[in-house]
Amino acid sequence: MKKLLAVSLLIALLLCGCASNAPVEREIFAMDTVMTVRVWGDDSDVAAAVSEINRLDALLSVIYENSEVYALNRDGEAELSFDVFDLLVEAIEVSRRTDGAFDPTVYPFVELWGFTKDTQALPSQREIDAVLPLIGFEQVECDGDTVTLVNGGKIDLGGIAKGYTAQKVVELLQERGVETAFLNLGGNVQTLGSKPDGEAWVVGIADPENPSQAIACLRFTDSLALVTSGGYQRYFEENGVRFHHILDPKTGCPADSGLASVTVLAQDGAIADGLSTALFVMGIENATTLWRKSDDFEAVFITQDGAIFATEGAASLLTDCEFTVIER
Binding site for ligand AMP (CB under 6 A): 102-104, 106, 110, 115, 156, 158-159, 229, 233, 245-247, 249, 273, 276-277, 281
> Judging by DSSP bridges, how do beta strands 201-207 and 210-220 pair with one another?
antiparallel
Q: Which helix or strand (DSSP H or E) is residue 44 part of?
A: helix 43-60
In the complex, minimum distance from the CB of residue 116 to ligand AMP, in angstroms, rounded to a whole number: 8
Backbone φ and ψ for 202, nearest 5 degrees, come out as -130, 115
Q: Which is nearer to Mg ion, 164 or 236 (CB)?
A: 164
Tell whether residue 95 is a contact of Mg ion (CB under 5 A): no
Q: CB nearer to ligand AMP: give 160 or 178.
A: 160
Closest to ligand AMP by CB, 167 or 276? 276
What's phi and psi for 135, nearest 5 deg?
-95, 140
Instruction: Tell the smallest beta-carbon distance from residue 41 to Mg ion (Å).
Output: 28
**Close Cβ partners of 227 (under 8 Å, ≥ 6 residues apart):** 162, 163, 187, 188, 189, 263, 264, 269, 272, 273, 275, 276
Q: 87 and 161 in contact (C-beta within 8 Å)?
A: yes
The span of 48-56, 81-89, 232-240, 274-282 binding Mg ion (CB under 5 A) equals 274-282
CB of 238 to Mg ion, least distance (A): 25
d(CA 227, CA 264): 5
Segment 275 to 294, residues that bind Mg ion, using CB under 5 A: 276-277
Smallest separation (angstroms) from ligand AMP to the CB of 71: 18
Angle at 302 between CA 117 and CA 90, to 5 degrees: 60
From ligand AMP, Mg ion, none, which one binds at residue 257 (CB under 5 to 8 Å depending on kind)?
Answer: none
| Residue 275, phi then psi, degrees to nearest 5 | -70, -30
Identity of the residue, 188 or 311, whose beta carbon is nearer to Mg ion in the bound complex = 188
Shortest separation between residue 276's beta carbon and ligand AMP, angstroms: 6
133: Cβ–Cβ under 8 A, 6 or more apart, which residues?
A: 151
Taking a C-beta distance cutoff of 8 angstroms, is the pair 57, 166 a contact? no
- Report which residue's Cβ sits closest to ligand AMP: 159
**DSSP letters along 93-104, please?**
HHHHHTTTSS-G
How far apart CA 318 and CA 88 sit, in angstroms, is 32
Quick one: what does residue 283 bind among Mg ion, ligand AMP, none, with the CB cut-off 5 to 8 Å set by partner type?
Answer: none
The residue sitting closest to Mg ion, measured at its beta carbon, is 277
Q: What is d(CA 163, CA 271) in angstroms, rounded to the nearest whole number?
A: 7
Site for Mg ion contains 159 (CB under 5 A): yes
Kind plus residue range of the DSSP H or E element containing 271: helix 269-292
Name the residue nearer to ligand AMP (CB basis): 178 or 218: 218
Among 273, 284, 301, 309, binds Mg ion (CB under 5 A): 273
Residue 156, binding choice from ligand AMP, Mg ion, none, Cβ under 5 to 8 Å by partner class: ligand AMP
261 binds Mg ion (CB under 5 A): no
Cβ-based nearer residue to ligand AMP, 39 or 246: 246
Q: Is 233 in the site for Mg ion (CB under 5 A)?
A: no
User: 193 or 274: whose CB is closer to Mg ion?
Assistant: 274
- 281 contacts which partner out of Mg ion, ligand AMP, none, CB within 5 to 8 A by kind? ligand AMP
- Which residues on adjacent β-strands are paired with residue 34? 29
DSSP helix/strand/coil, 24: strand
Question: Contact residues for Mg ion (CB under 5 A)?
Answer: 159, 273, 276-277
